[in-house]
Amino acid sequence: RKEVEQDPGPFNVPEGATVAFNCTYSNSASQSFFWYRQDCRKEPKLLMSVYSSGNEDGRFTAQLNRASQYISLLIRDSKLSDSATYLCVVNMAYGGATNKLIFGTGTLLAVQP
Amino acid sequence: DGGITQSPKYLFRKEGQNVTLSCEQNLNHDAMYWYRQDPGQGLRLIYYSQIVNDFQKGDIAEGYSVSREKKESFPLTVTSAQKNPTAFYLCASSTGQGIEKLFFGSGTQLSVL
């Protein structure tokens, strides 16, 4: 089983739609969770961290379910500019000073006009 | 403006040749990282450095070498021992203090002639 798994997509949705991505992780001791956005052949950029209580940033909502070991990202009112690959990132902290970030393969979102 | 600069943007390697990818940051970050990204795969850690004059192997270090002589610089050499070097290479940095945001450079696409 991969340490971090995502549905690769593509998710093709019309403008204005609501879309949700899930990501599962294998290490129950994982401490921190993030969603990054990556445009084609560009560097990943942090979209949002994911907190235990869930968090929202404008049209974006992130949720964490520790019992089932998954995180989710919900995008409301999709815009054309939301088209990108969304990377799930999990910090598999094994203790000590070294933190190990594991990147999922990414989910491709294509918002259609 | 502070940030991470990678160069070159595109690089071609001939058979048996060593090539060096540059990564410079002016964020005063202690930790620097090199990742490799292949199509359909998540980012994989090649090497990382948490402090000047010290670095550790990541998950796929074979065929690569690094140095960290200055805080600002973390060059990656792709040696002739790396038989499948074609990939998108990303350099990143962080403060190194616990779990926090990674700042990425814009990447170098390496191809084999």
| Of B53, B49, B57, B56, nearest in space to B33 by CA | B49
DSSP B21-76: EEEEE-S--SEEEEEEE-TTS--EEEEEEEETTEEEE-TT-TTEEE--SBTTB--E
Report the residue of chain B nearest A95, measured CA to CA: B98
Closest CB to B42 among A46, A99, A105:
A105
pLDDT tens by residue, A16-52:
999 999 999 998 888 889 999 999 989 999 999 998 8
Report the residue of chain B nearest A31, measured CA to CA: B99
Instruction: Identify all chain B residues contacting A45, using CB atoms and an 8 Å cutoff.
Output: 104
Instruction: Identify all chain B residues contacting A93, using CB atoms and an 8 Å cutoff.
Output: 99
Which segment of A15-19, A59-63, B92-96 scores lowest on mean pLDDT? Answer: B92-96
pLDDT tens by residue, B18-40:
999 999 999 999 999 999 999 88
Q: Mean of the pLDDT values across residues B74-86? A: 94
Q: Mean of the pLDDT values across residues B53-73? A: 95
Contact residues, chain A to chain B, C-beta under 8 Å: 4, 8, 31-32, 41-46, 87, 91, 93, 97-106
Contact residues, chain B to chain A, C-beta under 8 Å: 35, 40-45, 50, 56, 88, 90, 98-99, 101-102, 104-107, 109
Tell me the CA distances in angstroms from B30 to A44, A45, A47, A103, B104, one per residue in order. 20, 19, 23, 21, 14
Closest CB to A31 among B40, B90, B99:
B99
Q: What are phi and psi of A82, to 5 degrees?
A: -80, -10
- Beta bridge partners of residue B45, listed in sequence order: B35
**Sole residue written with tokens 């998954």:** A70
| CA atoms B83, B89, B93, B94: torsion sign | negative
Please give the Cα distance from A45 to A23 (Å, whole number). Answer: 18
| Of B55, B54, B32, nearest in space to B102 by CA | B32
